Amino acid sequence: MNRFLIVRTSSLGDLVHGLPVASAIKKALPSAHVAWIVEERFEALLKACPCVDEPIPVRLRGGVSRLLDASDIRHLISFLRRRARGGFDVAIDLQGLLRSGLLTLLSRAPVRIGFPGAFVRERANTFFTNLRPATIPARSHVIDRNLALLHPLGIRLQGHRAFPFCLPAPLPRRHFPGAGDPKARIWVGLHPAAGWPTKQWGAERYAGLADRIAKRWNARVFVLWGPGERELAGTVLRSMRTPAELAPEMGVGLLAEFLARCDLVVGGDSGPLHLASALGTPVVGLYGPSDPVRNGPAGPGARIVRTAAPCAPCWKRSCFDRSCMAFIELDRVWAEVEAAIEEKPRRTDPENFQKHSQGVNNNGDRS
């Protein structure tokens, strides 16, 4: 077995948590060829990972129906042609959806590994895989659940946390002009949005935190946003009393470079938080409906502030009052932010900071 296909098309945080699988394959089988089917908007992330030899971009944001959409059929045809040229020995479905199961089946790999029925979001997914791990720990991090899919192949690297990234030389900080002090040595990114409304802490609380950060360290505070999130980011800025900056619109490649330049990132359970942590940037994660034991940031030194709500974690995407995140007081978050920034070594020459290979390994070191 030398040709592997990983099927995990989205989303950003889930892709980050899938990277240790590719890294583990390469560690166990250095000559293996690892391909990965991914939505084209995230292709740049996988191109920056040396453990992924071949990102295969597709457009599937509309679900299974997009497999038959004439406007995107060329992506499926490209994938099928790729399969016909080289073929795959093993396909690994990290997603557990009907669409990912279909793509796994289309690979025609003789070995198709997937999660047991209790661990997939759509039970029909199990019809498309033919091999599963014997056991998966019930209350384990999603990375370890993903790594369990390698057990049937004899690859057992539980606890493996390797996120190798090869980024371009980081952009000089002067390339991000704005309202903050361009000479400020501390950059903090705040990401107020999240995929679920129940994971959002609230614009006013982020604004209060940003004001404290800006005053305490004369830091440049950037409010991060993605598709559909600009209005919330703007609300945070309008609620602040000190100057802050709306981060520029960034694709995933530039976002990775930007997060690697930050001294701290604060946010809920979201893709940018997990990507920042994987890059080795200190993070403070705010958790309400989701469980950090399962979904927490996996990089070294990540700090977690959990809600005290008795109903958490509930895993609900909607709630009539969204009260669980309101249980997270500003002072608790501020204490973690202070500790994270005070403990982080200062970059003595930020304009000349050059690290072409970025990421973290099992020891928590950048690599």
Look at residue 167 and tell me if it is in a domain: no
> Where a domain ends, among 160, 186, 215?
160
What tokens does 39 get?
């939505």
Q: Residue 260: what are its φ and ψ, rounded to 5°?
A: -65, -25
According to the model, what pLDDT value does residue 50 have?
Answer: 95
* Average pLDDT over every residue of 29-54: 95
According to the model, what pLDDT value does residue 21 have?
Answer: 97
Look at residue 207 and tell me if it is in a domain: yes
According to the model, what pLDDT value does residue 67 have?
Answer: 54
- Let me know whether 36 and 131 are in one domain: yes
Q: Residue 321: what are its φ and ψ, rounded to 5°?
A: -130, -5
Number of structural domains, the chain? 2
- Let me know whether 119 and 74 are in one domain: yes
Q: What is the CATH number of the domain that holds 284?
A: 3.40.50.2000
According to the model, what pLDDT value does residue 58 have?
Answer: 84
pLDDT-derived band at 319, boundaries 50, 70, 90: confident
* Average pLDDT over every residue of 269-298: 96
- Let me know whether 210 and 64 are in one domain: no
CA–CA dist 105, 326 (Å, integer): 44
- Let me know whether 146 and 21 are in one domain: yes
Look at residue 356 and tell me if it is in a domain: yes
Q: Which residue has the higher pLDDT, 16 or 362?
A: 16
Q: Are 40 and 75 in contact (CB under 8 A)?
A: yes
Q: Would you say residue 355 has pLDDT above 60? A: no
- Let me know whether 136 and 234 are in one domain: no
Q: Are 25 and 3 in contact (CB under 8 A)?
A: no
Look at residue 168 and tell me if it is in a domain: no
- Let me know whether 338 and 243 are in one domain: yes
* Average pLDDT over every residue of 127-131: 97
- Let me know whether 150 and 187 are in one domain: no
> Where a domain ends, among 95, 128, 160?
160
Distances (CA, A) of 280 to 129, 173, 229, 263, 295: 35, 18, 25, 10, 17
- Let me know whether 186 and 115 are in one domain: no
Look at residue 76 and tell me if it is in a domain: yes
Classify residue 65 by burial, with Cβ atoms within 10 Å: 0-12, 13-18, 19+.
Answer: exposed
- Let me know whether 117 and 265 are in one domain: no
Percent of the chain with pLDDT strictly greater than 90: 68
Look at residue 257 and tell me if it is in a domain: yes
CA–CA dist 222, 245 (Å, integer): 5
- Let me know whether 139 and 194 are in one domain: no
> Where a domain ends, among 160, 181, 201?
160
Q: Would you say residue 165 has pLDDT above 70? A: yes
Look at residue 244 and tell me if it is in a domain: yes
- Let me know whether 153 and 181 are in one domain: no
Q: Which residue has the higher pLDDT, 37 or 181?
A: 37
Look at residue 166 and tell me if it is in a domain: no
Phi-psi region of 48 (alpha: psi -120 to 50; beta: other; left: phi over 0): alpha
Q: Which domain holds residue 295?
A: 173-360
What tokens does 264 get?
């701290």
Q: Would you say residue 333 has pLDDT above 80? A: yes
- Let me know whether 245 and 275 are in one domain: yes
Q: Would you say residue 198 has pLDDT above 60? A: yes
* Average pLDDT over every residue of 157-176: 75
